[in-house]
A = this chain, B = another copy of it.
Amino acid sequence: MTYTVDSMPEADLALAEELGRQLRIDSIRASTSAGSGHPTSSMSAADLLAVLVARHLRYDWDNPTEPGNDHLIFSKGHASPLLYAVFTATGVITEDELLTGYRRFGSRLEGHPTPVLPWVDVATGSLGQGLPDAVGVALAGKYLDRLPYRVWVLCGDSEMSEGSIWEAIDKAAYYRLSNLIAIVDVNRLGQRGPTELFWDLNAYARRAQAFGARVLQVDGHDVAAIDRVLADAGSGGGDEPTVVLARTRKGHGFSEVEDRENWHGKPLPSEMATRAIIELGGERSLRVRGPVPKPSGLPVRPDAGDAKVRLPRYELGAKVATRRAYGDALTALGVRRDVVAMDGEVSNSTYAEQFAAAFPERYFEMFIAEQQLVAAAVGFSVRGYVPFASTFAAFLTRAHDFIRMAAISQADIRLVGSHAGVEIGADGASQMALEDLAMMRAVHGSTVLYPSDATSAAALVQAMAERSGVSYLRTTRGAYPVLYAPEVEFPIGGAKVLASSPDDQITLIGAGVTVHTCLAATADLAADGVHARVIDLYSVKPIDTATLVAAASETGGRLVVVEDHHPEGGLGSAVLEALAAAGQHDFVVTHLAVTEMPGSGSPEELLDAAGLGAAGVAQAARALLAFVVADADASEE
């Protein structure tokens, strides 16, 4: 019995059941042909997906960018064979691509799904992330797009032990996301054995209900039951997100592996695959599409409007914290209707509160849940919004895995971390970001910015709005003098030379607060007749290599890099990597960073103790003056 798209009378339940078998068979075929992958984790969820795709998911497969489309996110990304089998069944990829592309070099059918595929919103494969991402998409749908699309998420049972799942359900309930449906494939078996809760659907139900979700339970291999439950789940009735708990069997449909341990992440050997396909009724080529949403008539990306952004202007010399400038600039950017902001319950410290007060309809409080904070930004990015997410820089480390995955998701998100370094003072080491530059620089395609004053901070916030990929702004707790006039431009990838003369004997390189200590050190050095150049390296990545090369060449190859960060991976590494990549070698760097575990104290005490104060910088500079490179140019004589 074979249906085709032409002869298909309607996507009835018999067809859905057939489709479930096909999805299993194709999951087996794809993974066996690739020699790796997760067929059994696909087979448990195949009936759920068959009914969903054939009868409930509203999706125009020819127009994946249609804003009215439902969203389908595989939080259990390892079930990629199933997802790609779905794509095959809808006809958007060919069976040939499925069988020859899956997990192959250069193919878009990667081991875990990524948005290289136009039907995939976010990259998954690090468990517990798809659902938090989906919360962001659903927030956009309910509060900003105001479109009736639903966000369907396939979760694995193993990933329910990730705390981020509960951050997501909590926020989904808090924001009454009745457009969000998590379907949990409770197949009882994790990678190396049974899950914590086995098939105790009631235990899952109690948890999800306690966190505010509506829970529906179903036999995940009874297509009629699935159909009823998904109809209910997708109805959007009520005020709660829905969690569908589906009792399934891993490897369902093939008796040799069904509900057996030690079959996680293993393709079937080809003889077994042959037997499995026979047991499943033989190969078939159903082409099935479900309902298509009414065209929204909206542009693919939300309209920013044409209101002109008027950045704040600061008086030279006035003391303004860069975190405050962030709040000011974000609020100025708020005239763009596509800008959204969120924060991790510290908006009165990060100054995101200013945006929240001015544009409450586009501000989303994420409370103390940094993983969900970043995931929400990723979700807003899926719908084309321009999200800014802020918290203390130290606490962005909580979301490192999400930030890493955001890059794979091709998400355009802006992260803002306040209270960086020992400069924060009395709160102590737990609140001091001393690892964030290393973390953010190593993210693929990231932009890392660390302004020293309010003018540059505001300009960079505006630049971030236009920036693709993951961008990061590091702000400072304390207020320091404004160094730049409002007209000055701060291109990403640039740097500013703040003090310079033809007689410069040394270059002091800082960013953020250390620009100020470097400037203070020049006064000290000048008293000894030493001319020091000062570079404000506000763009840590990409970096202004030309300015660094020129400084190395023009100041006798003597560079002092000063950063309020641990010594590894931050500003110092960035400078060394840039000069190395430029083939430079006639220079020596003295690197000042936070090498000892700091405690409490005033910002000045802690900066001085770390050797990052003006005296420490001047001392390091004097010590370096003895260095003479072999072929240094004339400027130093």
Contact = CB atoms under 8 A, between A and B. Distances in A.
Interface stretch (A286-294, A431-439, A499-507, A524-532): A431-439
Interface in A562-585: 565-570, 572-574, 576-577, 580-581, 583, 585
A512 interface: no
Given A444-B566, A576-B577, A597-B408, A125 B401 contact: no
Interface in A397-447: 397-398, 400-401, 404-405, 407-408, 425-431, 434-435, 438-439, 441-445
Interface in A599-634: 599-602, 605-606, 609, 627, 629-631
Contacts of A398: 126, 162, 400-401
Contacts of A345: 158, 161, 190-192
Given A353-B192, A431-B111, A586-B585, A368 B159 contact: yes
Interface string A125-138: 11110000000000
Interface stretch (A102-110, A313-321, A455-463): A102-110
Interface in A97-118: 103-112, 114, 116
A416 B77 CA distance: 24
B585 A576 contact: no
Nearest to A586: B585
- Categorize the interface residue count of chain A: 35 or more
A431 B167 CA distance: 22
A122 B164 CA distance: 23
Contacts of A125: 427-431
Given A408-B429, A427-B36, A569-B569, A589 B600 contact: no
A605 B105 contact: yes
Contacts of A326: none
A367 interface: yes
A123 B441 CA distance: 27
Given A162-B369, A398-B400, A597 B445 contact: yes
Contacts of A602: 105
A166 interface: yes
Nearest to A129: B430
A165 interface: yes
Contacts of A585: 557, 585-588, 629
Contacts of A211: 207
Given A159-B368, A191-B349, A368-B159, A430 B77 contact: yes
A34 interface: yes
A395 interface: yes
A346 interface: yes
A346 B264 CA distance: 11
Chain multiplicity (copies): 2
A187 interface: no
A209 interface: yes
Contacts of A434: 442, 444
Interface string A346-373: 1111000100000000000001111110
Most buried by B among A123, A404, A430, A599: A430
A196 interface: yes
Contacts of A127: 368
Given A106-B601, A438-B439, A600-B107, A426 B34 contact: yes
Given A397-B404, A586-B585, A110 B196 contact: no
A174 interface: yes
Contacts of A166: 163, 166
Given A37-B426, A162-B398, A569-B569, 7 more contacts: A103-B600, A105-B600, A111-B600, A112-B430, A192-B353, A583-B627, A585-B586
17 contacts: A36-B425, A105-B599, A107-B600, A110-B599, A112-B428, A116-B599, A191-B345, A192-B349, A210-B210, A395-B401, A398-B400, A435-B442, A445-B597, A568-B574, A572-B577, A573-B577, A580-B588
